Amino acid sequence: MAQEQFYHALKVDESLCYGCTHCMFVCPTDAIRIRSGKASIRKDWCVDCGECMKACPVNAFYIEQDDFDKIFNYKYRVALVPVVMIGQFPSNISESEIFSVMRELGFTHVFQTEHTVDVINEAMINELNKHEERPLISAFCPAVVRLIQVRFPSLVNQIIHVKPPIDASAIFFRKMLQDKGIPDDDIGIFYVTPCAAKIASVKSPVGDDKSPVNGVINMDFLYNKVYQGIKNRGGKTSRSPGDNLPNLGPKSIGWSLTNGEAPYMKGRCLAIDEIHNVIDFLEKIENEEITDVDFLELRACDESCAGGVLVVGNRFLAVERLRKRAQLFKDIHGTPEDLIPYRDYLMGKLPLKPIEPRSILKLDEDMTLALRKMQQVRSLMCYLPGIDCGACGSPSCQSLAKDIVQREAQLSSCVFIQRMMEKHKKLHADHAIRIIEKTWGKDRLDKDCTKLGAKNEGM
Amino acid sequence: MQFKYDLEGGNFSRAGHASSEVKKILKQLNVDARIIKRIVVALYEGEVNVVAHAHKGVVMVDIDEKRIYIRIEDEGPGIPDINLAMQEGFSTASASVREMGFGAGMGLPNIKKNTDQLNIESEVGKGTVLEMTTMISS
């Protein structure tokens, strides 16, 4: 099978991973297996939702980001900051304080990601009017777009082919700087990301050849730097927050939160957050159990971007702060003034290319072989215990059966099958231990008092 | 390869279970998405019919390389006039069923539209047997 390589921001630090099963069980696409005592991610199955990272008890998952010093490769260093970043700070810290510290850190410009929301909204409504198929689904959340590609391939054509704010704003700000006479090579746009999926969408974009964003900075990293900067200067401003900072209105402030897009679309619109809720709903859409919905706003994280895996603060508090903020600026409407002359230019750049399905569900390209494999899976299920304990290194008996059929595991990986084999003298006890060590790592079953929860934990 | 699913009359929250399971199977078999959609729609309508009208029923599915055969058998009131029931908009659904958004009289016509071959046999007071066959590969 010809598989292109997918970039994933989520990585496992093997020195920290001790091979528990938390991540494997929460992964919504069954993309994780335990091999040699470490979690391993199947690249073409992973949608970068970050559930594994949220579930890991020892912080073994990390999100690869660009080296901060990479910003200095550019003469003009633009930070593209999403609204949820502002929501991280207590309300007594002002937006201009945050942005002036960011300029002290080395950025020449600080722009807000949701600046272009009004134009995006217009383009999305145009698409809604143009297409008959229902419901149409927002392309806002890159994890959802990838989820649809791998698990709901029949729905890819229902994704609205309009770029999300990260791309739209990068395109606009780049053009605006170019028009001031700055050469394109001198402009470096760095997105401050709340999640892994956005990084993956920058490094290997879906529906676009190349991302207009040059690099990505993790929000938790920048939050620490900025917060430290604010604490250290004790209210003294050494640098202005920059010129291009019009206040955003309620629509832009709320856009990345749950129910951010839905109220501004047309017809019957629903907003659904958290990846399992999204999956449940997409199942119903795929079965045509729900047909009278026009627009779906789907977000992988609980409380949308405020619940992103790189967002440091409590998501409910962040949402509350941002809602208050939206209330404060409730009189700001419409397209920001500096964007008006660029409206047509941006409109022309917003369409996404077709999004290809890439199903991970099919057992084989060839239907005859797939049918045979499914028969084998069903036969194997007669023997597997149906306990879904994960002790084989696969998330369920069903997935072990599929792994066996795909020659990625063996029936003897199952600890219960091993017991039966030992009973019938088909497997020697030493051999059984070797099999377990293959999945869970050498000496895994030896006494170890330093492991999590044991009496000398961490010593 | 055979699969069997039970249907319970009156339990609308479970209607769609069989079609959802069959969909998962067909996706694993790499059946064309458009064909899956037709099969799932037809089966879902069939399930709703049993749930809305009958006491209980059973769905039997048989899949081979060429086609999927689905047999929905129920114990229920039966259909007195099948030709009439095949007309769009004709419905005998109760007011309470309609309130739930079902019973628009599109069930059987929709099934017919979405299967390659449909056969209905019904005995009033006993039940109905629906047989649907759809090709899954050319």
The pLDDT of residue B107 is 81
Please state the separation of Cα A22 from the chain's center in Å. Answer: 18
Q: Does B95 touch chain A (CB under 8 A)?
A: no
A444: left (phi over 0), alpha (psi -120 to 50) or beta: alpha
Residues of A in contact with B23 (CB under 8 A): 286-287
The minimum CA-CA distance between B64 and chain A, rounded to whole Å, is 8
Residue A34: phi and psi, rounded to 5, are -105, 125
Q: What is the pLDDT of residues B34-57, one digit of tens each?
A: 899 999 999 999 999 999 999 999
Q: What is the pLDDT of residues A275-300, one digit of tens each?
A: 999 999 999 998 888 889 999 999 99
Q: What is the mean pLDDT of chain A?
A: 92
Nearest CA in chain A to B37: A287
Question: What confidence tier does B84 reach under pLDDT thresholds 50, 70, 90?
Answer: confident
Q: Which of A153, A287, A367 sits opposite B20 (nearest CB)?
A: A287
Residues of B in contact with A366 (CB under 8 A): 30
Q: What is the pLDDT of residues A109-121, one digit of tens each?
A: 999 999 999 999 9
Q: What percent of chain A has pLDDT over 70?
A: 96
The minimum CA-CA distance between B58 and chain A, rounded to whole Å, is 19
Q: What is the mean pLDDT of chain B?
A: 91
B33 with A357: Cβ contact below 8 A: yes
What is the average pLDDT across A374-383?
96
The pLDDT of residue A238 is 61
More confident residue, B104 or A287: A287
Query: A46-68 burial, b if ≥16 CB within 10 A, otherwise e?
Result: bbbbbbbbbbbeeebbbbebbeb
Count CB-CB contacts under 10 A for residue A45: 19
The pLDDT of residue A185 is 95
The pLDDT of residue A4 is 46
What is the average pLDDT across A44-61?
94
The pLDDT of residue A241 is 61
* C-alpha separations of A98 from A109, A117, A166, A322, B110 in Å: 13, 22, 20, 15, 59
Q: Which of A133, A136, A95, A87 is nearest to A261 (CA)?
A: A136
Q: Which of A154, A283, A367 sits opposite B29 (nearest CB)?
A: A367
Q: What is the pLDDT of residues A120-140, one digit of tens each?
A: 999 999 999 999 999 999 999
Q: Which of B29, B34, B37 sits opposite A374 (nearest CB)?
A: B29
Are B93 and B52 in contact, with CB atoms under 8 Å apart?
Answer: yes
Question: What confidence tier does B19 reach under pLDDT thresholds 50, 70, 90?
Answer: very high
A375 with B1: Cβ contact below 8 A: yes
A154 with B19: Cβ contact below 8 A: no
Which domains, ranges and CATH numbers included, belong to chain A? 10-63 (3.30.70.20), 68-349 (no CATH), 367-440 (no CATH)
Residues of A in contact with B29 (CB under 8 A): 362-363, 367, 370-371, 374
Q: Which of B69, B78, B21, B81 is nearest to B49 (CA)?
A: B78
Q: Which of B33, B65, B137 sits opposite A153 (nearest CB)?
A: B33
- Residue bearing tokens 């099958």: A417
- Among A207-216, A376-385, A386-395, B92-101, the minimum mean pLDDT is found in B92-101
Nearest CA in chain A to B102: A289
B29 with A378: Cβ contact below 8 A: no
- CA A304 – CA A299 distance, rounded (Å): 5
**B11 three-state secondary structure:** coil
Q: Please enumerate in sequence order all residues whose Cβ is within 8 A of that of A448, keeping only pairs 6 or more positions apart, or say none.
A: A454
- Which stretches of chain A sit within 8 Å of chain B by CB? 153-154, 283-284, 286-289, 357, 359, 361-368, 370-371, 374-375, 378
CATH code 1.10.1760.20 for B2-135: no
More confident residue, A245 or A73: A73
The pLDDT of residue A1 is 33
Question: What confidence tier does A235 reach under pLDDT thresholds 50, 70, 90?
Answer: low
What is the average pLDDT across A143-164?
95
What is the average pLDDT across A31-39?
94
Q: What is the pLDDT of residues A184-234, one digit of tens each?
A: 999 999 999 999 999 888 888 888 888 999 999 999 999 999 999 888 876
Q: Which of A283, A365, A378 sits opposite B20 (nearest CB)?
A: A283
Is residue A273 predicted with pLDDT exceeding 90? yes
The pLDDT of residue A161 is 95
Q: Please enumerate in sequence order all residues whose Cβ is within 8 A of that of A377, keeping only pairs 6 or more positions apart, or say none.
A: A363, A398, A401, A402, A405
Three-class secondary structure assignment of chain A: CCCCCCCCCEEECCCCCCCCCHHHHHCCCCCEEEECCEEEECCCCCCCCCHHHHHCCCCCEEECCCCHHHHHHCCEEEEEECHHHHCCCCCCCCHHHHHHHHHHHCCCEEEEHHHHHHHHHHHHHHHHHHCCCCCEECCCCHHHHHHHHHHCHHHHHHECCECCHHHHHHHHHHHHHHHCCCCHHHEEEEEEECCHHHHHHHHCCCCCCCCCCCEEEEHHHHHHHHHHHHHHHCCCCCCCCCCCCCCCCHHHHHCCCCCCCHHHCCCCEEEEECHHHHHHHHHHHHCCCCCCCCEEEEECCCCHHHHCCCCCCCHHHHHHHHHHHHHHCCCCCCCCHHHHHHHHHHHHHCECCCCCCCCCCCCCCCHHHHHHHHHHHHHHHCCCCCCCCCCCCCCCHHHHHHHHHCCCCCHHHCHHHHHHHHHCCCCCHHHHHHHHHHHHCCCCCCCCCCCCCCCCCCC
CB pairs A-B closer than 8 Å:
60
B65 with A367: Cβ contact below 8 A: yes
Report CA dihedral (A316, A322, A327, A330) to the nearest 10 degrees: -140
What is the average pLDDT across A334-345?
94
- Among A52-61, A149-158, A358-367, B88-97, the minimum mean pLDDT is found in B88-97
A370 with B36: Cβ contact below 8 A: no
Is residue A270 predicted with pLDDT exceeding 50? yes
Chain B, window 30-59: residues with a beta carbon less than 8 angstroms from a chain A beta carbon? 30-31, 33-34, 36-37, 40-41, 44
B29 with A284: Cβ contact below 8 A: no
Is residue A3 predicted with pLDDT exceeding 60? no
Q: What percent of chain A has pLDDT over 90?
A: 76
ipTM score over 0.90, yes or no: no
Q: Which of B24, B29, B37 sits opposite A371 (nearest CB)?
A: B29
A371 with B16: Cβ contact below 8 A: no
The minimum CA-CA distance between A284 and chain B, rounded to whole Å, is 8
Q: Which of B1, B23, B44 sits opposite A371 (nearest CB)?
A: B1
Is residue A5 predicted with pLDDT exceeding 60? no
Residues of B in contact with A287 (CB under 8 A): 16, 19-20, 23, 40-41, 44
- CA B125 – CA B127 distance, rounded (Å): 6
B24 with A287: Cβ contact below 8 A: no
